[in-house]
């Protein structure tokens, strides 16, 4: 999956939860952890680690809570 698509999908999830009351970071991480495949999560976490431009700040905040990918 392309870098742009991973970032766009993560940002869409963040946009949905951004307008919800209360904690927004935990539901973002939970949604990605439960619905994204391991390769998708690995790609997203790589983008976060590399500080790829364009990631929503809520996605960056949620990254530590996203289920890690086993080696």
- Reported as a single tens digit per residue, the pLDDT across 27-64 is 999 999 999 999 999 999 999 999 999 999 999 999 99
Q: What are phi and psi of 45, to 5 degrees?
A: -65, -30
Give the global pTM.
Answer: 0.92
* Amino acid 67: pLDDT: 95
* Amino acid 55: pLDDT: 97
Q: Please, are residues 64 and 49 in contact by the beta-carbon 8 Å criterion? A: no
* Amino acid 71: pLDDT: 61
* Amino acid 9: pLDDT: 98
């Amino acid at each position: 999956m392309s870098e742009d698509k991973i970032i766009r999908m993560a940002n869409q999830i963040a946009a949905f939860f951004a307008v919800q009351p209360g904690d927004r970071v935990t539901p973002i991480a939970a949604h990605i952890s439960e619905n994204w495949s391991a390769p998708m999560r690995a790609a997203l976490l790589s983008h976060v680690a590399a500080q790829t431009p364009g990631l929503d700040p809520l996605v960056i905040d949620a990254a530590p809570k996203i289920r890690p990918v086993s080696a």
